[in-house]
């Protein structure tokens, strides 16, 4: 779902797509139609762009991966995103980009981590 309220099903166990991540069939075209447009709109109009999530399914889209690399590599926008914990070659490359700071969030540290993240973002604004 985008912040504008747009929704689309990008993956389903019932999908007939031959592109699979685990038991989910993935509709890459549907993902690109909503995700690329939403991220671009946010980058063009907002100071902070939220991407939920950067994971295995999203890395099936070369244009999305390229956009994320370009955006993180530039110093302009602030990207707040979730990234999969498991290792994936393309996701691991994103983790290693110089503009990336990873916060490991769990039930025990979520209050303190949220405060630290908010302070870090405010310093960038």
* pLDDT (tens digit per residue) in 36-68: 999 999 888 888 889 988 999 999 999 999 999
Q: 15: which 2 tokens?
A: 């999908």
What is the count of structural domains for the chain? 1
Residue 81's domain spans which residues?
Answer: 11-124
| 25 DSSP 8-state letter | E
* Model pLDDT for residues 67-76, shown as the tens digit of each residue: 998 888 877 7
CATH of the domain at 52: 3.40.50.300
Cα distance between residue 102 and residue 110, in whole Å:
14
Is-above-0.75 flag for pTM?
yes
Cα distance between residue 26 and residue 13, in whole Å:
9
C-beta separation of 98 from 69 below 8 A: no
Domain presence at residue 4: no
Domain presence at residue 3: no
């Amino acid at each position: 779902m985008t912040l504008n309220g747009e929704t689309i099903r990008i993956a389903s166990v019932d999908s007939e797509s031959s592109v699979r991540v685990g038991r989910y069939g993935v509709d890459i075209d549907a993902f690109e139609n909503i995700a690329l447009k939403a991220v671009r709109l946010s980058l063009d109009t907002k100071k902070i762009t939220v991407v939920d999530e950067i994971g295995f399914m999203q890395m099936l889209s070369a244009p999305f991966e390229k956009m994320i690399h370009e955006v993180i590599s530039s110093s302009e926008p602030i990207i707040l995103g979730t990234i999969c914990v498991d290792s994936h070659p393309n996701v691991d490359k994103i983790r290693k980009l110089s503009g990336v700071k990873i916060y490991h969030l769990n039930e025990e540290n979520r209050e303190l981590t949220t405060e630290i993240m908010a302070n870090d973002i405010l310093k960038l604004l």
